[in-house]
Structures are given as structure tokens and as C-alpha cells.
Structure 1
Amino acid sequence: MEVKKISSTILKVPISHPYELPLTIFDRFADNIHIPVLYVFTPTTSSNADIISALSKTLFHFPTLTANLSTNSHGRPCLTVGDPQGGALLVEATVSSKLEDHLPFTPSPDFTLLHPEDENAKHSLQVQLNRFQCGGLVIGVTNHHRVADGQSMGSFFVTWGKMVRGIHNDPLPAVYDQSWLKPRHPPLVQFDHWGTDFMPLSSQPKECCLFNPIVVDPSEITNMLLHFSPEFIMKLKAQTGKLTTEKHTTFETLLGYLWRKVTIARQLDDKECTMLRISVNGRSRLWPPVPLEFFGNLVLNAYPKANSKELIEGGVATAAEIIRKGLRFIGEDYFRSFIDLGEVYGDRDLVPCYDKDTNLLSPILEVNSWLGFGFDEVDFGGSGTFRGFLPTWEPLEGLLVLIPAASGDGGVDVFLSLLEKHAVVLREISHTLD
């Protein structure tokens, strides 16, 4: 794939007086990285000029995406909105081939050519418009995770698409009111977040999170995209009814199925502990509920664990039930405890446990669900067809992302990164029912 960058510019939001917005405890817990994704559209689409104009208008309502990550006078991490060095990077590029030559999009290292460099990026939001010979369009976007989580970026993308089509949201979609995250008085840290969410402080016992210290050559890691139809998922759900009368969700069922399959493919020892690290959206878990339009980060992790042999022999029903219990543990009390932790220890150097991760997560599986975030509802105008939304190439073993199926059949696509030798096994068993 030959990609030629033809122009780049910085889009700024007109702010007369720059201001600092402190990072919340949830922002500080988020990955200190850029998240790169691709949107794929067949021709015809709106012009680059219309898409860029709409992006400028949209950023006015999402100003933190143009902010700089910095520290305030007290040494606390913050966003500086209106910083002269800030703004969003916008790149226009052409691709020498036709889009149809690359469809359907399946993970490839070439994907990294379709978005700006995400390592050590200077801007919180980076956008690259890639025009193919046929007029097809791939929009590559990277955003800093400490500025916005998946729910927030879903709202941003949907609003941007509406702006392109001349539809203006009323009320405006972004909510920045941090009063939703006020600590209790007095603060009450009910749960032990040390060694689970954050690394223990120097004065605390040296209990460690589960992690693998081994680093592998990135060439040993591959990415794959699996599709699961609604019919296949219904068959899985029929298996989960064996242990409970309460129906399991699509997420619990499919993830339980995949957890077992990946454990088999990884060839873990029978007694080895395997763990999921599942992103949990706190907006609906807090009371009163935080609006879905809250912009920023409001995500913690659930950590379901199981013995490898127990997981494999227990079937999908057992795996789904372990996941359900793990998710329900991360309820309002846990989120409130985490908020209060930020009040008590906010002036300390808090390091998320996953900062110890190498590029080999096994026996951990990091799980993100992009279902229900509206990514598949994005429409940039024109008569072209939406053909996919997916991460770019990720050289991180153990990453699993659930995505609305690009086929539009109501199923689920699963992006998964594994060692190549394990991916070979998984491809053979990925759709075999026990």
C-alpha cells in the first residue's frame, strides 16, 4: 500500500483565555497512549473540504481534544485547553490503489500508514484523510486515551458525522461537568485498589498485579479479525442456560467462549491462573447515572480469574458466569471508592498496574467492548457504504476488542492479537462448538 501525504495542518479552537482542567482519577488511570482506529467508506463520500470544515466546527464543542497534557503549578497532571502549542493535527493523503483491492479490511501492518504516527504524538487528536484512486475514503484517527475514553469518542465521531451532513445536535453532546465525580465527605476507600488498579505506594506491601515480564519480538505477534453471526451467538447462549435461569448477555457469552478458546490456543498449564482485564463503563453504574455524553474517562477494570483447567472443562456456561460475577463486583461502591482514592492520594504519583505490562500479556487477556458506543452509526455523508471500523495493527499480544460487525448482519467482529503460533491454533478452533 503506497500512501502519500500531501498536506498537514493544525486545527485550533478559538479560546481567548487558555485554562487548565485537572485530570480526574479516571483520566490518570487510563492508558498513557494514543488509540489508533480506522473508518472505511466506499465512494462516493463527502469532500475532504466538507469533512475538515465539519471537524473544525465539531472541535469547538469538544475543546479538550485540542488540549495539551501538562502539569499545573502544583505538579498535578492537567489538560491545558487553548494552549498555543495545542490543536488537532489534520493530514490529507492519497493512496495509489483502489479501496476495493483491500476489502474486506483485515488487520495488516500497512494500516499504520493510514494514520499519523501514534508514538510520542504531540497532539491529543490526530486525523488522516486517505483518498484512494476510486474515491474511497479511510479516515485514520488517533486520540490520547487520557483525554477521552471509547464512549466519549463515540459521541465525538457521531457528532462530527452529523456536522458533515448539516445536522446540528441540540442539546450539545459533550458534558464536562466533573461534579458528577465528587468524592464523599469524608472519603471512604472501601476496596483495596493497590496491586489491582494502581501499583502499591513505596510505603505499602509489595504485592504485585498479575503480569508477564517476558518481552517477545514484535514479529512473533499477529492480529486477526473473527466474525460471529447472530445465529452462532444464539447457539452459544443456549449453552449458558445450563447453570442459571438468568440469561447471559451477548458480551458475557461471547467473551466466555473466546476466553476458553484463547486459553486452549495459548496451551496454558492446567493449574495456571488466567485473567481477563475488562474495561467497565461507570456512567450507568453510578447513581444518579452520569450522562452518556460525559466527556473524558469514566472506566475501570473488572478482573475475572480462573484456573486454566477449570475454565476449559467448565464450558461456556462456567466462563460466562465467572465473567458476570467479575463485572457485577465493579459496581457503584467500587467506583465511589475509586473516586475517594483520588481525593486521598491524588497528590501522589499514581501508577496503573498495567504500566508494568510488556508486549506479552499472556496469561492475561485485555478486553475492550466497543459495542453500543455508536461507532457503527457514524455517517460522513455521500452515497458510499460504511465498510468497517477497527483498530490498526497492534503489536501487543493479548488484546481483544469486540466491534459491531462491519457486515451489518447484527453480529460481532472480534479483533484479537496473539502470538502467531497461537493464532494458528485459534483459527482452527474459533468456530467449533463444544
Structure 2
Amino acid sequence: MDVEIISKEFIKPSSPTPLHLKTYKLSLLDQLHDHCYPPVSLYYPLKQDTELSISSTDIDQIVSKRLQLLKQSLSETLSSFYPLAGKMKDKLSVDCNDEGIYFAEARAKCTLNEFLNRPDLSLVIFKFHPVVGNEQRQSKEIAGAHVGKIQVTRFSCGGLVICACILHMVADGVTLGSFLMSWAARAGKNIGEDTSICPNYEISSLFPQNDHTYPREATAFSKSGKFVVRRFVFDAQAIANLKAKATTSSTSLQNPSRVEVVTALISKRIMAAFKAKSGSYKPNLLTRVLNLRPLVRPPLSENSFGNFVWNADALCKDHDDEVELDGLVWKLRESFTKVVKRLQGDGEGSLISLCEDTRSGDGIEAWLHLLEEDLALLELDRELLGFASLDPTPLGKCSSISHNVIPQSKL
């Protein structure tokens, strides 16, 4: 499927950024993240709950009005999220110069339903994304990089895909979610009404920057080669079965979360695939990304702008591939608990899970990025496929039509 860029522009904030806010300083937590643009893609049909045909002229008019509304409401939203309309001044700060957020319009030569019937994930990653491959993997040169980028792709039926991303050095997925919700609220109301979320910019004072801090890199566990992506979708019944499986052993594991059991199953099958391929066991690192906002004491606002995330790592070694599902859930929970105790002292903390919900809201859609030969083994794994569907159409009852990690309470 061809996707053609038809226009590029910069959407400026509707009101100028005050002089005393022209420089936004990164925090210590921001400095630990790479120069990359993780995206969120949102899919919208032209009209919902209707089978009525619409002429191409009417489609053009409707899409034109929607694009204009998107731009106007985006401009209003950027007045509050002003760093997204700027550029990186250097590795420690953003020049909030109101130049505007990068906004590209593209055209896809098929209908939205044709794409969603058999979605090609490479298109989602490379054709709908406003950051081209070379730019995503560019050198360590940071100065001049745009903080925010958006691409709106129009299908021949009038459906739209909105793909938005923020430079990870500046903010995390929760911030991106807050920005999208604020933008959506303004687009759904009359422009000019006070419907936006007001971000909190206290992170640099809470975690002062350090000139000698560099992004974390898991070099010991990284690989090179041809990586591919597949979707494994777990519905509500499959997740309930996994929870039951994880609590039927002699351990005292109680109330495993959806994310814990799905992560544990996928990790267990990946370790089995690695062992089958190499003939010997190799250590594996399990990592969960935690939203620190509700975990610190006192809790921070969900609208706190920046990177309030931390990794909870669990190293599986000494033939841990033989451990049962509940054992892997224990490892994940222990890694989480250690992070919580460091943040809160010795008090107990409740599990706060970030997950990619299915369209019905009670399942999980997992995107696996693995070497092609490793993923080929998982595509034939009977235990994994006993709980998950491989690359089902997002138009089905239990599939998702959006992707990336955003807190469930915000969707």
C-alpha cells in the first residue's frame, strides 16, 4: 500500500509562550532516555454506525473540515503544552520558541477497512509514523530536533489515522496520553473553551539535571539482525484462564494482574524458543516500565509533564526457563516491589499496571518485536497460541484499534 506525503507545516500555539518559560530544562529522569519518538496511532472511520454511501466530493469536504478542526484545536492545546512546539536547544534543554509542532498530511490508496482487515504492522511503524527511519535512528546530534511530531493519514474512504509522538528525552507515554486527551477535548468542544488539561512542569525541580548523565543502554542484552513485529491478542477469557493457572500451584501467589500473567506467559515461551534454537539455556532479562506518578509519596499528578517512568528488571538465570507460570509472575512482582519500596520506604504498595487494552477494554494486545527466526518459533508455539490470537483483524470484537502504552483510566 502506497502512502504519499502531500503537505508539511508547523502548527504554532494560539498564544505565545511567556518569556520566562522560553527555556524548558530537562530533568535527571529525562536525561536517562534516548533520542527516539515512540508513537501512538489512533484510527477513525469517516462515519460510524452507518452504511450510507457518500460521494467523493462530500468526503473531500468532510475531511477538509476535520483537518481544519484538528489544526485549530491543536494550536489551542499547544498553548498549554508549549514545549511540544519547540526544538531541542541542546541535550539539557528545549528552546520553547513557538516555531510549532511538525504536522504532516498523507494519503493512503486504500480504504481504512481494507487496511484493518489484514493490517500490515510495517505500515503502522514506517508509513503512518511522522518520523522516517533514518531520523529515528539518527546520530547523537540532538540540537535542533523537533520535540513533537504528528502525521494525519487520509484513506480513500475518508477515514483517518492520527499518529503523534514526542521526543522521549522530553516526555513519556503518560504525557503523550495527556496531550492527546487535551487535544481531543478541544476538538470535541467549541474552540476557545477551557477544556484542556493543564500540565504540571515541576519535574526539573524534583529531579535536577546532571551534566554527566547519559541514557541507559541494555547493551548486554541487545541483538542485531532482521527484526519483525507480530500482534498477539489475549481476550478476557484467556486472561482469566491464565490467572487461574498462575494460582493453582502450591505457592501463595494471590491476585495476579492481567499484565503480570500475560508478560509471564510470553516471557516463558520466548525463553523456551531461545533454548530450542540454541540447544542451551541463556539468561533473559524481564523488564516492566512503571509509571512513577502514583507510586511516589506523596503521589504526583497524572498531568505531570516529563519522564516519570522507571524500569523494574528481573533476571532469569540458572535454568529459570523450567519455572512455571506462577514463578515468573513472582519474579515480576518482586522486581516491582523493590522499586516501590525504594520510592515509598518499607510500606506496602498496590500494583499499578500499564497495559495496551483491546477494543473491548478487557483484553490485552501484545506487540512482539523479535528477530525473525525467533518470532517464527513463537508463531508455531501451541502453548502461547492456546491463549492468544496471532495478528487478528482489529475490526473484530476483541481487538484494538489503537496502540502504545497509555494508562487505562485515561482511555
Number of residue-to-residue matches in the alignment: 340
Per the TM alignment, residue 294 of structure 1 is displaced from its structure 2 partner at its CA by 0.3
CA distance in structure 1 between the aligned counterparts of 2:204 and 2:155, rounded to whole angstroms: 45
Q: Tell whether 2:385 aligns with 1:431.
A: yes
2:131 aligns to what? 117
Matched residue of 2:356: which SS? Answer: strand
CA distance in structure 2 between the aligned counterparts of 1:324 and 1:80, rounded to whole angstroms: 40
Given the superposition, is the C-alpha separation of residues 254 and 53 from structure 1 closer, same or farther in structure 2, using an over 3 Å criterion? same
CA distance in structure 2 between the aligned counterparts of 1:114 and 1:214, rounded to whole angstroms: 26
**Structural mapping, 1:136-175, within 5 Å:** 136-166=159-189, 172-175=197-200
CA distance in structure 1 between the aligned counterparts of 2:118 and 2:184, rounded to whole angstroms: 21
Q: Provide Cα deviations, 1:336-395, integer angstroms capped at 9, x if missing partner.
A: 9xxxxxxxxxxxxxxxxxxxxxxxxxxxxxxxxx975xxxxxxxxxxxxxxxxxxxxxxx
**Structural mapping, 1:18-417, within 5 Å:** 19-44=22-47, 47-71=66-90, 77-82=92-97, 86-104=99-117, 106-111=119-124, 112-118=126-132, 119-120=134-135, 122-166=145-189, 172-178=197-203, 181=206, 198=216, 211-212=220-221, 214-216=223-225, 220-241=226-247, 242=249, 243-267=251-275, 270-307=280-317, 309-310=319-320, 312-331=321-340, 333-334=342-343, 402-406=355-359, 408=360, 410-417=362-369
Per the TM alignment, residue 281 of structure 1 is displaced from its structure 2 partner at its CA by 1.2
2:396 aligns to what? none
Kept in 1, the 8 Å contact 2:356–2:364? The answer is yes
1:418 aligns to what? 370
AA of the residue aligned to 2:17? I
AA of the residue aligned to 1:41? Y
Kept in 1, the 8 Å contact 2:242–2:261? The answer is yes
CA distance in structure 2 between the aligned counterparts of 1:256 and 1:131, rounded to whole angstroms: 38
Matched residue of 1:43: which SS? Answer: coil
Matched residue of 2:153: which SS? Answer: strand
Q: Provide Cα deviations, 1:80-117, integer angstroms capped at 9, x if missing partner.
A: 2126xx42111112222111111146343233122323
Per the TM alignment, residue 156 of structure 1 is displaced from its structure 2 partner at its CA by 0.9
2:409 aligns to what? none
CA distance in structure 1 between the aligned counterparts of 2:45 and 2:216, rounded to whole angstroms: 44
Per the TM alignment, residue 334 of structure 1 is displaced from its structure 2 partner at its CA by 5.0
Matched residue of 1:330: which SS? Answer: helix
TM-score norm. by structure 2 comes to 0.75
Given the superposition, is the C-alpha separation of residues 321 and 27 from structure 1 closer, same or farther in structure 2, using an over 3 Å criterion? same
CA distance in structure 1 between the aligned counterparts of 2:131 and 2:305, rounded to whole angstroms: 24
Kept in 1, the 8 Å contact 2:11–2:103? The answer is yes
With 168-177 and 89-98 compared, the bigger mean Cα shift is at 168-177
Per the TM alignment, residue 414 of structure 1 is displaced from its structure 2 partner at its CA by 0.5
With 312-321 and 46-55 compared, the bigger mean Cα shift is at 46-55
CA distance in structure 2 between the aligned counterparts of 1:230 and 1:296, rounded to whole angstroms: 33
CA distance in structure 1 between the aligned counterparts of 2:353 and 2:107, rounded to whole angstroms: 31
Kept in 1, the 8 Å contact 2:288–2:311? The answer is yes
AA of the residue aligned to 1:181? L
The gaps in structure 2 that reach 5 residues or longer are 48-62, 137-144, 346-351, 388-411
Per the TM alignment, residue 70 of structure 1 is displaced from its structure 2 partner at its CA by 2.1
Q: Provide Cα deviations, 1:153-199, integer angstroms capped at 9, x if missing partner.
A: 1111111111110075668331112377257xxxxxxxxxx99x858
The gaps in structure 1 that reach 5 residues or longer are 184-193, 200-208, 337-369, 373-401
CA distance in structure 2 between the aligned counterparts of 1:147 and 1:420, rounded to whole angstroms: 32
CA distance in structure 2 between the aligned counterparts of 1:54 and 1:287, rounded to whole angstroms: 35
Per the TM alignment, residue 214 of structure 1 is displaced from its structure 2 partner at its CA by 4.7
CA distance in structure 1 between the aligned counterparts of 2:268 and 2:151, rounded to whole angstroms: 37
AA of the residue aligned to 1:128? Q
Q: Provide Cα deviations, 1:237-292, integer angstroms capped at 9, x if missing partner.
A: 11222322521111111111111011112236654211112211111111100111
Given the superposition, is the C-alpha separation of residues 174 and 229 from structure 1 closer, same or farther in structure 2, using an over 3 Å criterion? same
CA distance in structure 1 between the aligned counterparts of 2:328 and 2:108, rounded to whole angstroms: 44
Matched residue of 2:161: which SS? Answer: strand
AA of the residue aligned to 1:228? F
CA distance in structure 2 between the aligned counterparts of 1:323 and 1:16, rounded to whole angstroms: 45
CA distance in structure 1 between the aligned counterparts of 2:241 and 2:30, rounded to whole angstroms: 39
Given the superposition, is the C-alpha separation of residues 172 and 308 from structure 1 closer, same or farther in structure 2, using an over 3 Å criterion? same
Given the superposition, is the C-alpha separation of residues 371 and 97 from structure 1 closer, same or farther in structure 2, using an over 3 Å criterion? farther
1:342 aligns to what? none
TM-score norm. by structure 1 comes to 0.72
Given the superposition, is the C-alpha separation of residues 98 and 171 from structure 1 closer, same or farther in structure 2, using an over 3 Å criterion? closer
Kept in 1, the 8 Å contact 2:183–2:196? The answer is no
Per the TM alignment, residue 306 of structure 1 is displaced from its structure 2 partner at its CA by 1.0
Kept in 2, the 8 Å contact 1:371–1:404? The answer is no
Matched residue of 2:256: which SS? Answer: coil
Given the superposition, is the C-alpha separation of residues 226 and 308 from structure 1 closer, same or farther in structure 2, using an over 3 Å criterion? farther
CA distance in structure 2 between the aligned counterparts of 1:318 and 1:125, rounded to whole angstroms: 41
Kept in 1, the 8 Å contact 2:81–2:199? The answer is yes
Aligned alpha-carbon RMSD (Å): 2.8
With 424-433 and 132-141 compared, the bigger mean Cα shift is at 424-433
AA of the residue aligned to 1:264? A
Matched residue of 2:268: which SS? Answer: helix
